[in-house]
Amino acid sequence: MSSLDHGRSYYHANTQPFESAETINLIRRIRATKPFLSAAGVSRELEITCTNQYEVDVKQACIESSPLADSKKFGQIRPPTW
């Protein structure tokens, strides 16, 4: 069985997360300062893609509620150097 219904949440055995509206609300409330997220793919046309649809809401909540750069970087343009 790939997912189990636990009342208000679902457990996905293949990737081992719990999916629920409560998870999304918790992520939005805690506002993590350094989220670490994975992506199945990144492209200019489709942007960030996931393997499983149930990952999308959780990852979107993380991105929307967390800073992806510190405020000193806004409005700055730097030449690419490595």
pLDDT recorded at residue 4: 53
pLDDT recorded at residue 1: 47
pLDDT recorded at residue 5: 59
Q: Which residues contact 17 (CB under 8 A, 6 or more apart)?
A: 11, 54, 55, 58
pLDDT recorded at residue 52: 86
Could you give the C-alpha distances from 14 to 1, 42, 46, in angstroms and in order?
A: 9, 22, 25
Q: Is the pLDDT of residue 74 over 60?
A: yes
Q: Tokens for 33?
A: 């300062």
Span 2-57, pLDDT tens digits: 555 566 788 888 888 888 888 889 888 988 878 888 888 888 888 888 888 888 88
Task: With 0.75 as the threshold, say if the pTM is over it.
Answer: no
What does the DSSP assignment read for 13-74?
A: TTT--EEEHHHHHHHHHH--SS-----SEEETTTEEE-SSGGGHHHHHHHHHHS-SS-GGGT
Q: What is the DSSP letter of 75?
A: T
